[in-house]
Chains A and B, each alone.
Chain A
Amino acid sequence: MENKTLYVLSAKQISVQQPLSEEWMTQPVLYQTPYNRCIDPSFKDYVSPIEARRMGKILKRAIATSREALTASGLTEVDALITGTGYGCLENTELFLDALTTEGEQLLKPTHFMQSTHNTISSLVAIQMKNHGYNATYAHKGISFDSAMYDAVLQMRLGKINSALVGGHDELTENFYHILKKGGMMGHDDEMCAEAAVSVVIGSQGSNSLCKLVDFKILHQPTIEKLKNITTKYKADYILTGISGNHSKDEAYLAEAKELFSGAALLKYKHLFGESFTSSGLGFYVAAHCLKEGKIPAHLFVDPTDKTDRKPANILVFNRSDGTNYSLALLEA
Chain B
Amino acid sequence: MTNPIVITGSGVVSAIGLGKKPTLDALLDGRSGVGPLVYLKTEHKEFPVGEVKMSDAEMCRLLGISPKAISTRTALLGMLALDEALKEAKITTDMLPGIGLISGTTVGGMDMTEQFYPDYKNNDNHKEYIAVHDCGSNTELTAAHFGKFAFVTTLSTACSSAANAIIMGANMIRCGEADIVVVGGSECLTKYHLNGFNSLMILDNRNCRPFDASRNGLNLGEGAAFLVLESAESAQRRGVKAQAILSGYGNACDAFHQTASSDEGEGAYRAMQEALQQAGLQPADIDYINAHGTGTPNNDLSESQAMRRLFGDNMPPVSSTKPFTGHTTSASGSIEAVFCILALQHGFIPVNLNWSQPMEDGITPVHQSLRKELRHVLCNAFGFGGNDSSMLFTKTEL
Interface residue from B121, B150, B168, B175 paired with A1 (Cβ < 8 Å): B175
The CA of A104 and the CA of B195, in the complex, are separated in Å by 10
Which of A115-123, A229-237, A289-297 is the interface stretch? A115-123
Q: How far is the CB of A327 from chain B (nearest CB, A)?
A: 10
Does B258 sit at the interface, judged by CB under 8 A? yes
Interface residues in A103-153 by Cβ distance below 8 A to B read: 104-106, 108-110, 113-120, 122-124, 126-127, 129-141, 143-144, 147, 150-151
Q: Are B153 and A147 in contact (CB under 8 A)?
A: yes
Which of B56-64, B196-204, B367-375 is the interface stretch? B196-204
Which of A81-89, A202-210, A243-251 is the interface stretch? A81-89
Interface residues in B240-259 by Cβ distance below 8 A to A read: 251-259
Q: Are B106 and A118 in contact (CB under 8 A)?
A: yes
Question: How many residues does chain B have at the interface if contact means C-beta atoms less than 8 Å apart?
Answer: 71
Does B114 sit at the interface, judged by CB under 8 A? yes
Identify whether the interface residues of A are mostly helix, strand, loop, or mixed: mixed
Interface residue from A113, A115, A130, A175 paired with B195 (Cβ < 8 Å): A113
The 4 closest A-B pairs by CB, nearest first: A183-B130, A123-B385, A113-B196, A140-B136
The closest CB in chain A to the CB of B176 belongs to A1
Q: Which residues of B contact A138 (CB under 8 A)?
A: 153-156
Q: 5 pairs across A/B with beta carbons < 8 Å? A: A104-B43, A110-B201, A123-B384, A137-B157, A139-B154
Does B236 sit at the interface, judged by CB under 8 A? no
Q: Are A185 and B131 in contact (CB under 8 A)?
A: yes
Does B134 sit at the interface, judged by CB under 8 A? yes
Q: Are A100 and B191 in contact (CB under 8 A)?
A: yes
With contacts A1-B175, A139-B136 known, what are 12 further pairs, Cβ within 8 A?
A1-B174, A97-B192, A118-B158, A119-B383, A127-B256, A129-B255, A132-B254, A133-B253, A138-B153, A139-B135, A155-B171, A185-B131
Q: How far is the CB of A284 from chain B (nearest CB, A)?
A: 17
Q: Which residues of A contact B146 (CB under 8 A)?
A: none
Does A158 sit at the interface, judged by CB under 8 A? yes
The CA of A97 and the CA of B106, in the complex, are separated in Å by 15
Chain A contact residues, CB within 8 Å of chain B: 1, 81, 85-88, 96-97, 100-101, 104-106, 108-110, 113-120, 122-124, 126-127, 129-141, 143-144, 147, 150-151, 154-155, 157-158, 160, 175, 178-180, 182-185, 218-222, 226, 277, 324-325
Q: Which residues of A contact B108 (CB under 8 A)?
A: 139
Does B113 sit at the interface, judged by CB under 8 A? yes
Interface residue from B129, B130, B153, B267 paired with A180 (Cβ < 8 Å): B130
Q: Which residues of B contact A324 (CB under 8 A)?
A: 140
Q: How far is the CB of B331 from chain A (nearest CB, A)?
A: 15
Interface residue from A100, A106, A179, A222 paired with B121 (Cβ < 8 Å): A179
Q: Are A218 and B151 in contact (CB under 8 A)?
A: yes
